[in-house]
RNA sequence: GCCUCUGUGGCGGAACUGGUAGACGCGACGGAUUCAAAAUCCGUUUCUGGUGACAGAGUGCCGGUUCGAGUCCGGCCAGAGGUACCA
């Protein structure tokens, strides 16, 4: 009598059994013996309160790797924790009056419960949250060590300032140049802030990223571009009239195109350049212009996309190569103070931003690079700068040179004139870590009027956040706390105040991977690190990963980590998002998937019966109401179904669209698998037969195991899923056999149970139990296919005539090339196309294809 | 704006290093089983033309390299991620 598999009952039973057996605890190096280690880590979640499908996908993928490694004999570390500091907790405090700590820990409890239902093979004994005082205390100690090492400093830096709420805004809180709550036009304001010297490691971070061969190529390219090493020229332009005070030697610029110096038509200063500030002091128009620039906010995107704005200072500088020429000095909103020297020379003909600026303000445009096929007399630049290769012209001593040669000659000339020198510059800026917020790691320093900046003594760490804080008004609660910041100087015992900035939450996630390996034991950290497989969203491809790489180096250099390479993640996989259709009511409001239904192809709103629109497929997000709650799916179908679905269909690196029917299909497949095991007699497994049907079935099983193994190793889980589908169909068909293949069916089922472990671990245990297998299948070894069963002796090859498929032949693999050619020519469907034609040649690719070329 | 990536049936996607385009799943259609239904099982399903064997077209668009291109090269178009205070 066929039975149904009951996911809810089976899943909770197996999870309890795994817990009782402490199955997924990482072994210590001593316990592990000869077993190789594998550290599998997924990016830990921000505890928003609810698990979403993106988490399910991320952790399901990591679990496939962890379970597969474990089955292959590795000592696996697979930990979980919480990226628990951050703005949403403060927003909740402001909106609902709940304390950020309470809100966060409640969210963690809720999400931990949800996560546990997924049956992930996690070592929960290492769990922590970054808002735990033990964690942020260790982070404060690390900060002080980095400070001692000279990796930390303070400098003035700009923030988005909301003049109504009197608070600093994050870039995402600036919407169209206005504060998200107050609606006030956002200003830029300078504050003295803390920085990490990530640029000290710029060269090494760039050099090493090339060697991370188990990282996606695109992430390595993005990191390299972000660091942005460029060789150029730093030089000064001397003023042609009276120089402004303090700038007697001229204005310093940096350029990567010294070859285009003869095409220079203006100098542009950043609105924040010291000279700009000096000129603005006595100039209302310029002051006004600076304010206009500042109203764009601080994000690079906003600054770059803003229309080009300029202000003519009236000053002029001398062209270095031509005493007859002077260039006007402008202030331009697209010149960033943070890059190079905060000043450039503009060559409109060969730079897109410069041409837009020059056309707007009527500045000269002189082309100096001639494209290979252009004529010097007729070549001109209108609205599109020419940035390609070519030969220099209109350029005096550089005429006729290629760009690279011209760059060298120009730099040499400037150097001989004593006006500057060749210089390497980076796009990468030092990492600003100050945040004027409460829910973050307090920066452990004290400001003393007499002693300056004094570290909080190690004995006083962790320096805890005060619990009694009010969020009734915007601004930094730490700063306005009645007592917390008032203290005495550890050095002179005089009155002093604490730093009230907290650390960027990117700091918290920059070293948690080391803390998981061990809270403080250097040997244990050395054993586990680097992480063998890191899995997370591609949205972290630049910042988080770069910061973590910096921290690994900094920790190594302050003696916190024995990791010579400085690379925390040996293998990286970046997964895509989970998306879903969006739905809108007639009035334009977003609707949840559960609020709409489809009848005869038309969507309507269930509550009202009114028609609804289907919108584009987008990343699941609360604002668009297109989220699917994993809890509801687990409730309805079980965790295995949810895991299976998010791994099927889409390649892991791409987005996956959640569909209800897809989930139902996955649930059906769970039952189909169970029916294979349920359909076997409850007897001991006989040895597989040697008849043709048994051999064919065994070949299918052994090939399937090999293919699944390969696709898991290549992170192609969707292909592994397809392979299991095909295999199950073959096993299912064999149920009709008269009994000769029973041994082969048992063998296939046993292999299948073990191959299911990474994907549907609960079902795999139930299947294993039904087979009478030893212990937990979660602890069983991966099946080993028999090489003899993986080979076929004949092969089917397509036959093409002039590249079009006209037939196929099945031949022995060992057949010689000319015999294959003869067989192809003789194949009736092919021969019809060859009749009366002249065969010019025949290409035979053994085992793949035959292509006959006819006239 | 800039950096990176993606684009294949009605839908999600497969196709190893340039070698049979559409595996596998979803949906749809047809059938079996059933008193009936649910569940399950089997089959068909890129498009166009043809009763049919079959023929032609086809991997975002335009062009190129090759015996052969979804795959390589050049140029476009569209969408996504990042853009340093969302995480």
| A737 and A824 in a common domain | no
Q: Is A445 helix (H, G, I), strand (E, B) or coil?
A: strand
In this structure, is residue A391 part of a structural domain? yes
With a cut of 80, say whether residue A604 has pLDDT above it: no
Q: How does residue A783 score in pLDDT terms, banded at 50, 70 and 90?
A: very high
CA distance A829 to A837: 15
Give the distance, in angstroms, between residue A597 CA and nucleotide B10 C1'.
19
Q: A803, A782 in Cβ contact below 8 A?
A: no
Bridge partners for A253 per DSSP: A235
CB-CB neighbours of A592 under 10 Å: 14
In this structure, is residue A683 part of a structural domain? yes
Judged by C1' against the alpha carbon of A721, the nearest nucleotide is B24
Which uninterrupted H or E stretch holds A356?
Answer: helix A352-361
Report pLDDT digits (tens) over A138-191: 999 999 999 999 999 999 999 999 999 889 999 989 988 889 888 898 888 999
Asked if strand B contacts A49 at the CB level, meaning under 7 A, the answer is no
| A398 and A323 in a common domain | yes
pLDDT given at position A626: 66
Q: How does residue A282 score in pLDDT terms, banded at 50, 70 and 90?
A: confident
CB-CB neighbours of A99 under 10 Å: 16
Residue whose CA lies closest to nucleotide B85 C1': A170
Asked if strand B contacts A249 at the CB level, meaning under 7 A, the answer is no
Residue A733 marked ligand-binding: no
In this structure, is residue A37 part of a structural domain? no
In this structure, is residue A531 part of a structural domain? no
Judged by C1' against the alpha carbon of A336, the nearest nucleotide is B84
Q: Which nucleotides of B are covered by protein (CB under 7 A)?
A: 1-6, 11-16, 19-21, 23-27, 39-42, 54-57, 67-69, 80-87
| A405 and A261 in a common domain | yes
CA distance A511 to A506: 9
pLDDT given at position A584: 65
pLDDT given at position A147: 97
Q: What is the DSSP string of A190-213?
A: EEEEEEE-GGGGHHHHHHHHTT-T
> Which of A33-37, A584-588, A689-693, A811-815 comes out lowest in average pLDDT?
A584-588
With a cut of 90, say whether residue A17 has pLDDT above it: yes
Higher local confidence (pLDDT), A814 or A67: A67
> Mean per-residue pLDDT for A66-86?
97
With a cut of 60, say whether residue A601 has pLDDT above it: no
> Which of A270-279, A308-317, A562-571, A620-629 comes out lowest in average pLDDT?
A620-629
Judged by C1' against the alpha carbon of A193, the nearest nucleotide is B85
Question: Residue A707 maps to which CATH number?
Answer: 1.10.730.10
In this structure, is residue A396 part of a structural domain? yes
Q: What is the dihedral of CA A314, A315, A319, A322, to 10 degrees?
A: 70
Report pLDDT digits (tens) over A188-217: 899 999 999 999 999 999 999 999 999 999
* Euclidean distance between the first and the last CA atom of chain A, given in angstroms as a whole number: 66
pLDDT given at position A830: 85
Q: Where are the alpha helices (DSSP H) in A648-785?
A: 660-678, 692-713, 717-733, 742-756, 761-771
| A268 and A399 in a common domain | yes
Report pLDDT digits (tens) over A216-265: 999 999 999 999 999 999 999 999 988 999 999 999 999 999 999 999 99
Which uninterrupted H or E stretch holds A505?
Answer: helix A505-508
Judged by C1' against the alpha carbon of A726, the nearest nucleotide is B24
Residues 255-284 of A with CB under 7 A from strand B: none
Which uninterrupted H or E stretch holds A801?
Answer: strand A794-801
With a cut of 70, say whether residue A641 has pLDDT above it: yes
* Domain end position, chosen among A738, A772, A789: A789
Q: What is the dihedral of CA A328, A369, A337, A250, to 10 degrees?
A: -40
Tokens 């609020």: give the residue.
Answer: A595
Token pair listed for A57: 């996908």
| A376 and A244 in a common domain | yes
| A751 and A843 in a common domain | no
CA distance A812 to A796: 9
Question: Residue A845 maps to which CATH number?
Answer: 3.10.20.590
CA distance A471 to A94: 5
Asked if strand B contacts A218 at the CB level, meaning under 7 A, the answer is yes
A66 burial class (0-12, 13-18, 19+ CB within 10 angstroms)?
Answer: buried
| A734 and A687 in a common domain | yes
Kindly indicate whether the ipTM for this predicted assembly is greater than 0.90, answering yes or no: yes
Q: Is A705 helix (H, G, I), strand (E, B) or coil?
A: helix
With a cut of 90, say whether residue A438 has pLDDT above it: yes
Report pLDDT digits (tens) over A695-740: 989 999 999 999 999 999 999 999 999 999 999 999 998 887 777 8
In this structure, is residue A349 part of a structural domain? yes
Asked if strand B contacts A55 at the CB level, meaning under 7 A, the answer is no
| A698 and A595 in a common domain | no
What is the count of structural domains for chain A? 4
Asked if strand B contacts A159 at the CB level, meaning under 7 A, the answer is yes
In this structure, is residue A660 part of a structural domain? no
Q: How does residue A340 score in pLDDT terms, banded at 50, 70 and 90?
A: confident
| A709 and A594 in a common domain | no
Tokens 């390479």: give the residue.
Answer: A565
With a cut of 60, say whether residue A1 has pLDDT above it: no
Q: How does residue A512 score in pLDDT terms, banded at 50, 70 and 90?
A: very high
Q: What is the DSSP string of A284-343?
A: HHHHHHHHHHHTT-S-HHHHHHSPP-EEEEEEEEE-SS-TT-EEEEEEETT--TTSTTSE
* Domain end position, chosen among A746, A772, A789: A789
Nearest residue to A24 (alpha-carbon basis) of A79, A64, A65: A79
Nearest residue to A64 (alpha-carbon basis) of A628, A778, A677: A778
Question: Residue A347 maps to which CATH number?
Answer: 3.90.740.10
pLDDT given at position A594: 64
CB-CB neighbours of A401 under 10 Å: 18
Asked if strand B contacts A60 at the CB level, meaning under 7 A, the answer is no
* Domain end position, chosen among A383, A408, A426: A426
Report pLDDT digits (tens) over A729-746: 999 988 877 778 899 999
Give the distance, in angstroms, between residue A804 CA and nucleotide B21 C1'.
12
pLDDT given at position A517: 97
Q: Provide the residue range defining the domain that includes A591.
A: 580-618
Q: How does residue A344 score in pLDDT terms, banded at 50, 70 and 90?
A: very high
Which uninterrupted H or E stretch holds A503?
Answer: strand A502-503
Give the distance, in angstroms, between residue A692 CA and nucleotide B16 C1'.
28
> Which of A12-26, A447-461, A615-629 comes out lowest in average pLDDT?
A615-629
In this structure, is residue A377 part of a structural domain? yes
Asked if strand B contacts A441 at the CB level, meaning under 7 A, the answer is no
| A381 and A240 in a common domain | yes
pLDDT given at position A586: 64
> How far is the CA of A643 from the CAs of A255, A414, A648, A751, in angstroms?
52, 63, 9, 20
Q: How does residue A588 score in pLDDT terms, banded at 50, 70 and 90?
A: low
> Mean per-residue pLDDT for A677-705?
90
| A802 and A749 in a common domain | no
| A327 and A252 in a common domain | yes
**A802: alpha, beta or left, given left = phi > 0 and alpha = psi -120 to 50?**
left
């Amino acid at each position: 009598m066929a039975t149904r598999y009951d996911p809810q009952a089976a899943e909770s039973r197996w999870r309890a059994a795994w817990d009782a057996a402490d199955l997924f605890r990482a072994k210590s190096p001593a316990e592990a013996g000869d077993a190789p280690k594998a550290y599998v880590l997924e990016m830990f979640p921000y505890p928003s309160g609810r698990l979403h499908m993106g988490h399910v996908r991320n952790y399901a993928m990591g679990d496939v790797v962890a379970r597969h490694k474990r089955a292959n004999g590795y000592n696996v570390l697979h930990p979980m924790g919480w990226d628990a500091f951050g703005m949403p907790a403060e927003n909740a405090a402001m909106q609902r009056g709940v304390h950020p700590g309470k809100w966060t820990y409640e969210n963690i409890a809720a999400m931990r419960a949800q996560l546990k239902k997924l049956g992930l093979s996690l070592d929960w004994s290492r769990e922590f949250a970054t808002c735990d005082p033990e964690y942020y205390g260790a982070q404060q100690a690390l900060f002080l060590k980095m400070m001692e090492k000279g990796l930390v400093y303070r400098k003035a830096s700009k923030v988005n300032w909301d003049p109504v709420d009197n608070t600093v805004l994050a870039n995402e809180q600036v919407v169209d140049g206005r504060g998200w709550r107050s609606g006030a036009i956002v200003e830029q304001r300078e504050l003295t802030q803390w920085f990490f010297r990530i640029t000290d490691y710029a060269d090494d971070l760039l050099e090493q990223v090339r060697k991370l061969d188990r990282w996606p190529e695109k992430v390595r390219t993005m990191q390299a571009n972000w660091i942005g090493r460029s060789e150029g020229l730093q030089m000064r332009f001397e003023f042609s009239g009276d120089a402004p005070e303090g700038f007697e030697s001229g204005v310093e610029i940096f350029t990567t195109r010294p070859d285009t110096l003869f095409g220079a038509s203006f100098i542009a200063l950043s609105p924040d350049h010291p000279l700009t500030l000096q000129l603005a002091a006595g100039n209302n128009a310029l002051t006004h212009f600076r304010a206009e620039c500042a109203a764009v906010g601080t994000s690079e995107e906003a600054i770059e996309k803003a229309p080009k704005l300029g202000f003519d200072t009236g000053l002029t500088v001398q062209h270095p190569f031509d005493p007859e020429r002077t260039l006007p000095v402008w202030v331009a909103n697209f010149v960033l103070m943070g890059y190079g020297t905060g000043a450039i020379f503009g060559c409109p003909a060969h730079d897109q931003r410069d041409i837009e600026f020059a056309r707007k303000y009527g500045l000269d445009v002189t082309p100096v690079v001639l494209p290979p096929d252009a004529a010097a007399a007729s070549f001109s630049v209108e609205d599109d700068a020419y940035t390609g290769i070519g030969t220099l012209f209109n350029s005096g001593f550089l005429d006729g040179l290629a760009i690279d040669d011209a760059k060298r000659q120009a730099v040499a000339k400037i150097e001989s004139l004593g006006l500057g020198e060749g210089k390497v510059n980076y796009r990468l800026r030092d990492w600003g870590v100050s945040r004027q917020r409460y829910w973050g790691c307090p920066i452990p320093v004290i400001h003393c009027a007499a002693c300056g900046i004094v570290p909080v003594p190690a004995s006083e760490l962790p320096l805890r956040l005060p619990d009694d804080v009010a969020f009734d008004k915007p601004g930094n609660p730490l700063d306005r706390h009645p007592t917390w910041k008032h203290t005495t100087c550890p050095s002179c015992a005089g009155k002093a105040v604490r730093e009230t900035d907290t650390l960027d939450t990117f700091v918290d996630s920059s070293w948690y991977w080391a803390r998981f390996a061990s809270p403080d034991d250097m040997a244990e950290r050395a054993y586990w690190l680097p992480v063998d497989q890191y899995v997370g969203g591609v949205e972290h491809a630049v910042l988080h990963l770069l910061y973590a790489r910096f921290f690994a180096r900094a920790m190594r250099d302050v003696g916190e980590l024995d990791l010579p390479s400085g690379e925390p993640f040996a293998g990286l996989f970046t997964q895509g998002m989970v998306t879903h259709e969006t739905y809108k009511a007639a009035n334009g409001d977003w609707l949840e998937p559960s609020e709409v239904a489809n009848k005869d192809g038309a969507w309507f709103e269930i509550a009202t019966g009114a028609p609804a629109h289907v919108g584009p497929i987008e990343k699941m997000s609360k604002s668009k109401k297109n989220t699917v709650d994993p809890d509801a799916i687990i409730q309805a179908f079980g965790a295995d179904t949810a895991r299976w679905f998010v791994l099927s269909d889409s390649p892991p690196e791409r987005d996956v669209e959640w569909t209800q029917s897809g989930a139902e299909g996955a649930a059906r497949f769970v039952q189909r698998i169970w029916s294979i095991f349920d359909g076997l007699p409850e007897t001991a497994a006989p040895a597989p037969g040697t008849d043709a049907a048994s051999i064919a079935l065994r070949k299918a099983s052994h090939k399937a195991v090999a293919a699944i193994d390969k696709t898991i190793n290549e992170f192609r889980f969707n292909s592994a899923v397809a392979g299991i589908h095909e295999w199950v169909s073959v096993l299912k068909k064999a149920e009709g056999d008269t009994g000769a293949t029973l041994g082969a069916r048992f063998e296939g089922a046993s292999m299948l149970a073990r191959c299911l472990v990474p994907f549907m671990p609960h079902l795999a245990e139930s299947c294993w139990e039904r087979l009478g297998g030893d212990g937990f299948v979660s602890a069983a070894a991966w099946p080993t296919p028999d090489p003899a069963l993986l080979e076929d002796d004949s092969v089917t090859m397509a036959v093409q005539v002039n590249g079009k498929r006209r037939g196929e032949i099945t031949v022995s693999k060992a057949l010689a090339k000319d015999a294959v050619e003869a067989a192809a020519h003789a194949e009736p469907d092919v021969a019809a196309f060859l009749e009366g034609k002249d065969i010019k040649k025949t290409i035979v690719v053994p085992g793949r294809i035959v292509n006959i070329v006819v006239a």
